[in-house]
């Protein structure tokens, strides 16, 4: 299993809670798992003496739960809580501490190294995935005391201080549910991954936890800090690039520019005063002769990300111009290839431009566009479909967001499905809104994979809110108007979750296909050009 970043771990846990699993349940399961791992390495009861050193967060709560189960097994347990009990930060951890507070051997403060030497194993439940900053007191002193004791250590999730100047080097680490980034034998010892009851769906599907990825502006945020996006498109069609650009603005991007050929540029200017439009070329479409001017124009706008292809058409000269643009942009500028931009992945002369840049390149094809890239239709079997997309992602060096009634998202290693969709969302222009959201997030420094996950869930969430008020007949422009409202609901849910009071997520409907042969993607008609 690919190691998870600390951000992904936080999203994973939030999505598990959204599916009805409580933090209390996860903490209880973690305590059992820790106790079982301790039993593999410590002396058997009644000779086994275990020291548990706990912080004031959920990692400490896991340690409290482990103390309860180790005592029930007959072990002698001494537990040190490094902070005052009133400073235990979460309700679940406080409840676990209340279960053991009357046990003998409960201490408040930093343990003494000589006292720790009386034990045959120490459980490190101080910080876990709570952070990797340089340790402050009392955690620094606790790590030094544990190190001076010379007793074998078992860390919970991650060793305290990993990656910093003062850290524990345990003999064993119990990784809860998934392995974590940065784990290596030299800093975590022998790693055992133990499941603690996360639903399978939280590991494989998007959920409201994706909103934790949203880059919120801070108190000192100034103009330009929330990204500059350039949308390159238009020609035969003018609505597609405008919709993508307006979606990016609705998502909070500071400045959005549209670069289009005349006369499309003039038309796009009339859609909204919020759009800044630049024209390149006069032939109604981009051509190979426009390649140098196109790059110079884009470069002059100092973009934090590019979105290429919306409404551009598929003239050979347009593909040549886009190929030259991609060659200049990668890997310096994050790029989203949507609609006609996805043709670059199917064009022989453009293929050498693709490389190992998963973090900075995203393709967002629908079924027809994916057919053009692969040369054959995507499988209707879910496992085969996953393999096809992951293989293509690895070959192209690009993350992929495959747009369908269930969105499929991969960066070659990791895979997510977005099943939150309302049938009313199947409307022309919705794909442009989705690519605009993803490009907006990449302009704000999210990786291509994270941007695709959040954008897919976000637009699905918005579609449910829209349907409640509008029923069918939703237009792509309606979805854009719903983007801020959906974000507000998502961030409110995250705040509730982080304070231990997660509300029921609005409009939440997970409806994954029941059959392995369920078709995913649209359109349903036979494929081909046109």
Query: What domains are defined for the chain?
Result: 6-204 (3.40.50.10260), 223-498 (3.40.1190.20)
Q: What residue has token string 């998007």?
A: 206
Taking a C-beta distance cutoff of 8 angstroms, is the pair 56, 89 a contact? yes
Question: What pLDDT, on a 0 to 100 scale, did the predictor assign at position 347?
Answer: 86
Sequence-separated (6 or more) residues with CB below 8 Å from residue 182: 3, 132, 158, 162, 163
Name the 3-class secondary structure at 263: coil
| Verdict on whether the full-model pTM lies above 0.85 | yes
Q: Residue 79 pairs with which residues in a beta bridge? A: 52, 106
Question: What pLDDT, on a 0 to 100 scale, did the predictor assign at position 132?
Answer: 79
Taking a C-beta distance cutoff of 8 angstroms, is the pair 463, 429 a contact? no
Question: What pLDDT, on a 0 to 100 scale, did the predictor assign at position 32?
Answer: 98
Question: What pLDDT, on a 0 to 100 scale, did the predictor assign at position 350?
Answer: 84
Tokens representing residue 335 in the block: 């790029």
Question: What pLDDT, on a 0 to 100 scale, did the predictor assign at position 511?
Answer: 42
What whole-number distance in Å separates Cα of residue 511 and Cα of residue 321?
41
What whole-number distance in Å separates Cα of residue 381 and Cα of residue 258?
39
Cis (ω within 30 of 0) for the bond into 46? Answer: yes
Question: What pLDDT, on a 0 to 100 scale, did the predictor assign at position 87?
Answer: 95
492: DSSP letter? H
What whole-number distance in Å separates Cα of residue 326 and Cα of residue 477?
29
Question: What pLDDT, on a 0 to 100 scale, did the predictor assign at position 410?
Answer: 96
Sign of CA dihedral 442, 495, 174, 195: negative
Q: Which of 515, 513, 524, 490 is nearest to 417 (CA)?
A: 513
Could you please report the per-residue DSSP string of 102-156? TSTTEEESPPPHHHHTTSSEEEEES-GGG--SPP-TTHHHHHHHHHHHT--EEEE
Sign of CA dihedral 315, 259, 241, 418: positive
3-state helix, strand, coil in the chain (%, to 5): 45, 15, 40
pLDDT tens string for the chain (530 positions)? 689 999 999 999 999 999 889 999 999 999 999 999 999 999 999 999 999 999 999 999 999 999 999 999 999 999 999 999 999 999 999 999 999 999 999 999 999 999 999 999 999 999 999 877 899 999 999 999 999 999 999 999 999 999 999 999 999 999 999 999 999 999 999 999 999 999 999 999 999 999 999 998 877 776 777 899 999 999 999 999 999 999 999 999 999 999 999 999 999 999 999 999 999 988 899 999 999 999 999 999 999 999 999 999 989 999 999 999 999 998 899 999 999 999 999 888 788 888 755 679 999 999 999 999 998 888 888 888 889 999 999 999 999 999 988 899 999 989 999 998 877 777 889 999 999 999 999 999 999 999 999 999 999 999 888 888 877 888 999 999 999 999 999 999 999 888 877 667 765 554 433 434 444 444 333 444 33
* pLDDT tens profile 181-222: 999 999 999 999 999 999 999 999 999 999 999 998 877 776
């Amino acid at each position: 299993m690919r190691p998870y970043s600390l951000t992904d771990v936080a999203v994973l846990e939030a999505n598990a809670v959204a599916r009805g699993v409580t933090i209390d349940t996860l903490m209880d399961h973690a305590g059992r798992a820790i106790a079982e791992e301790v039993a593999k390495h410590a002396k058997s009861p009644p000779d086994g003496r275990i020291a548990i050193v706990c912080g004031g967060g959920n990692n400490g709560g896991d340690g409290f739960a482990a103390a309860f189960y180790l005592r029930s097994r007959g072990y002698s347990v001494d537990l040190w809580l490094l902070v005052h009990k009133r400073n235990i930060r979460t309700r679940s951890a406080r409840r676990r501490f209340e279960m053991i507070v009357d046990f003998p051997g409960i201490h408040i403060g930093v343990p003494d190294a000589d006292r720790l030497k009386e034990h045959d194993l120490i459980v490190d439940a101080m910080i876990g995935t709570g952070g990797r900053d340089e340790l402050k007191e009392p955690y620094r002193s606790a790590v030094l005391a544990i190190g001076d004791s010379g007793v074998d250590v078992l860390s919970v999730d991650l060793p305290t201080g990993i990656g910093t100047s003062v850290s524990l080097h345990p003999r064993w680490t119990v990784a809860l549910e998934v392995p974590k980034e940065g784990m290596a034998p030299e800093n975590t010892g022998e790693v055992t991954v133990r499941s603690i009851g996360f639903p399978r769906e939280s590991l494989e599907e998007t959920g409201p936890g994706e909103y934790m990825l949203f880059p919120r502006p801070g108190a000192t945020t100034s103009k330009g800090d929330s990204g500059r996006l350039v949308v390159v498109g238009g020609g035969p069609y003018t609505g597609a690039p405008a919709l993508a650009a307006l979606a990016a603005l609705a998502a909070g991007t500071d400045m959005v520019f549209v670069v289009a050929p005349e006369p499309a540029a003039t038309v796009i200017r009339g859609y909204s005063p919020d759009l800044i439009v630049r024209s390149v070329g006069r032939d109604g479409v981009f051509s190979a002769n426009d390649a140098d001017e196109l790059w110079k124009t884009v470069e002059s706008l100092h973009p934090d990300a590019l979105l290429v292809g919306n409404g551009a058409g598929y003239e050979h000269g347009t593909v040549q111009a886009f190929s030259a643009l991609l060659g200049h942009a990668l890997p310096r500028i994050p790029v989203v290839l949507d609609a006609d931009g996805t043709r670059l992945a199917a064009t022989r002369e453009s293929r050498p431009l693709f490389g190992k840049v998963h973090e900075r390149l995203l393709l967002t094809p629908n079924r027809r566009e994916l057919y053009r890239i692969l040369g054959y239709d995507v499988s209707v079997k879910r496992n085969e479909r996953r393999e096809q997309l992951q293989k293509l992602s690895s070959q192209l060096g690009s993350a992929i967001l495959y747009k369908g009634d269930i969105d499929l998202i991969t960066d070659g290693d990791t895979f997510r499905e977005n099943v939150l969709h309302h049938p009313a969302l199947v409307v022309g222009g919705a794909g442009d809104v989705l690519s605009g959201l993803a490009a907006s997030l990449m302009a704000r420094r999210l990786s291509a994979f994270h941007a695709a996950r959040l954008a897919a869930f976000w637009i699905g969430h918005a579609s449910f809110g829209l349907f409640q008020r509008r029923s069918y007949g939703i237009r792509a422009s309606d979805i854009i108007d719903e983007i801020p409202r959906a974000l507000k609901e998502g961030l409110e849910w995250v705040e509730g979750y982080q304070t231990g009071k997660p509300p029921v997520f609005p409009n939440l409907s997970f409806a994954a296909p029941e059959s392995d042969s369920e078709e995913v993607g649209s359109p349903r008609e036979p494929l081909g050009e046109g």
